[in-house]
Amino acid sequence: MTTENSAKAPASEQELRDAMVQQLIELGAARSPRVVAAFRTVPRHLAAPDADMTKVYEPEQAAITKTDANGTHISSVSAPRIQATQIEQAAIQEGMRVLEIGSGGVNAAYLAELVGGQGHVVTVDIDPDVTERAKDFLKATGYRNVTVVTADGENGDGAHAPYDRIIVTVQTADIPPAWIDQLAEGGRLVVPLRMRGMTRTVAFVRDSGRLVSDGFELCGFVPMQGAGENRVRLALIHDTEGEEVGLRLDGHPEPDTQALSAALQTPRTTAWSGVTLAGDESSEHLDLWLTTALDNLPLMAAKPAARQRGLVASASPLGVPTLVDGASFAYRTVRPTDDPDRYELGAIGHGPEGQKVAALLVEEIQAWDRDHRDHRARIEVYPARTPDDQLPAGRVIDRPHTRVTISWP
Ligand SMILES: C[S@@+](CC[C@H](N)C(=O)[O-])C[C@H]1O[C@@H](n2cnc3c(N)ncnc32)[C@H](O)[C@@H]1O
């Protein structure tokens, strides 16, 4: 019975955990009963004692624990949704040996629950503050089958190798040799791999010296530090404070920012594809096709104010694929259709060749719809010395240690 004076009691820890788990199931992030049980058990709020407890149990909420001098987040307790996604990708079984790169304690505790007393988890972080916090958390929560190591995860942890599973919880542009060497044959490596600006958590299976993808999903992670540090660079094409527009470069050719800046001020041309997406359908597979097919396709990042002022018509925190050709460029956009549940894909062009560049982008949107929409790309990782004729056809991304390929059936 409710009376006028009775205030709603705050949710208990267990109620918060159960509500979080329910949402993770509804989001499709937690699927298997053992993963659900692990997320129902670990008291993750103890890892972020200063944070609002209800927030720590929100599926999409990461708790930022460290920011560098430039304001970039460099450490966090990852959001429950991404932790569950990666753990499902890893398909962990009891008794396994698991290496986690990028620590914090919470994810290691989930892994410890899943491998059980016969298994072992090693969690490595480059930052001693993080490993101290992780040790405290694991001690307080009683997980004894976890070894916490302070080191650059670029080298894995040879002392406890081989591993049945390696889970990387920091964004990387490359796969260092240690991660492949220390992974058992047939083992799974789950890693937030940045490919041409966009990061996807990819589940790879080791097949001799190469890795072959078995599913991937878009995600955001703090960038890797140490020997493997390799960040995207932002080339501004509009630098008015508060409404900056830039191109995120990840191995793309250096753009003529002055010419593109002038182009942005000229009227836009649009081209429409006739290809539609459902309102709840992600464009992630289309974007992967576009980055496979088109050479000079960095991502455009824009401050919300740039969009409000009408400078750009598309914005996304992950960046919008943008085809650059000299002094012209075109970016992917959408418009509503008569069907309230679908929108049409197109391109907005600027500059002297804006119309032509927009038409090229639209052609590839149509090619995806025609030839690839019903398929999933395959991502593979080969050693850097592998000759071209031994790689699958498609896009090749060259990194210091590896050649990453994206191919389509
Ligand atoms: C998103 S946090 C990890 C979250 C954690 N797994 C959890 O329990 O939620 C990423 C971590 O990667 C660490 N890191 C960055 N570069 C690293 C490197 N080269 N080796 C090991 N750790 C690294 C950062 O210090 C940061 O703590």
Q: Does residue 176 have its Cβ closer than 6 Å to ligand 1?
A: no
74 CA to middle of ligand 1, Å? Answer: 8
Model confidence at 3, pLDDT cuts 50, 70, 90, reads: very low
75 CA to middle of ligand 1, Å? Answer: 6
Spell out where 17-89 has E strands.
63-67, 73-77
pLDDT per position as a tens digit, 17-31:
999 999 999 999 999
Alpha carbon distance 246, 91 (integer Å): 38
Q: What is the DSSP letter of 369?
A: I
Q: Does residue 124 have its Cβ closer than 6 Å to ligand 1?
A: yes
Q: Does residue 174 have its Cβ closer than 6 Å to ligand 1?
A: no
Pairing state between β 97-101 and 163-168:
parallel
Pocket perturbation via mutation, ligand 1, pick of 125, 146, 154, 230 by most ligand atoms within 8 A of CB? 125
120 CA to middle of ligand 1, Å? Answer: 19
221 CA to middle of ligand 1, Å? Answer: 9
Going by C-beta distance under 8 Å and a sequence separation of 6 or more, which residues neighbour residue 395? 196, 291, 292, 293, 405, 406, 407
Please choose, from the candidates 157, 123, 301, 135, the residue with its C-alpha nearest in 3D space to the C-alpha of residue 220: 301
Least confident of 101-105, 115-119, 279-283: 279-283
212 CA to middle of ligand 1, Å? Answer: 24
Tokens (6 digits) for 299: 């991502």
Residue 292 φ/ψ, nearest 5 degrees: -75, -40
Alpha carbon distance 226, 152 (integer Å): 6
Look at residue 396 and tell me whether its pLDDT is greater than 80. Answer: yes
Pocket perturbation via mutation, ligand 1, pick of 68, 72, 99, 127 by most ligand atoms within 8 A of CB? 127
Q: Does residue 109 have its Cβ closer than 6 Å to ligand 1?
A: no
Ligand 1 closest atom vs CA 109: 8
Q: Catalytic: 273?
A: no
Q: Does residue 154 have its Cβ closer than 6 Å to ligand 1?
A: yes
Q: Does residue 102 have its Cβ closer than 6 Å to ligand 1?
A: yes
Residue 175 φ/ψ, nearest 5 degrees: -115, 105
Q: Does residue 226 have its Cβ closer than 6 Å to ligand 1?
A: yes
Give the active site residue among 78, 213, 273, 283. Answer: 78
Spell out where 143-262 has E strands.
146-150, 163-168, 183-195, 198-207, 210-218, 233-238, 245-249
Model confidence at 9, pLDDT cuts 50, 70, 90, reads: low
C-beta of residue 110 within 8 angstroms of C-beta of residue 83: yes
Look at residue 276 and tell me whether its pLDDT is greater than 80. Answer: yes
pLDDT per position as a tens digit, 121-146:
999 999 999 999 999 999 999 999 99
Going by C-beta distance under 8 Å and a sequence separation of 6 or more, which residues neighbour residue 404? 175, 193, 195, 379, 380, 381, 382, 396, 397
Largest pairwise CA distance in the chain: 76
CB contact burial 367-385 (16+ within 10 A = b; e otherwise): ebbeebeeeebbbbbbeee
Q: Does residue 76 have its Cβ closer than 6 Å to ligand 1?
A: yes
304 CA to middle of ligand 1, Å? Answer: 29
Average pLDDT over residues 329-352: 97
Q: Does residue 169 have its Cβ closer than 6 Å to ligand 1?
A: yes
C-beta of residue 185 within 8 angstroms of C-beta of residue 212: no
Average pLDDT over residues 397-405: 98
Ligand 1, atom 27, residue with closest C-alpha: 75
Pocket perturbation via mutation, ligand 1, pick of 46, 86, 103, 231 by most ligand atoms within 8 A of CB? 103
pLDDT per position as a tens digit, 75-105:
888 899 999 999 999 999 999 999 999 999 9
C-beta of residue 151 within 8 angstroms of C-beta of residue 157: yes
DSSP of 86-103, one letter per residue? HHHHHT--TT-EEEEES-
Q: Does residue 99 have its Cβ closer than 6 Å to ligand 1?
A: no
C-beta of residue 125 within 8 angstroms of C-beta of residue 106: no
C-beta of residue 121 within 8 angstroms of C-beta of residue 112: yes
Rg of the chain (C-alpha set):
23
pLDDT per position as a tens digit, 47-78:
988 888 999 999 999 888 888 888 888 888 88
Average pLDDT over residues 301-321: 89
Q: What is the DSSP letter of 345?
A: E
Please choose, from the candidates 278, 237, 244, the residue with its C-alpha nearest in 3D space to the C-alpha of residue 259: 237
Alpha carbon distance 158, 297 (integer Å): 38
CB atoms within 10 A of CB 60: 11
Instruction: Write down the pLDDT at residue 1.
Output: 36
Three-state DSSP state, 138: helix
Q: Does residue 106 have its Cβ closer than 6 Å to ligand 1?
A: yes
238 CA to middle of ligand 1, Å? Answer: 33
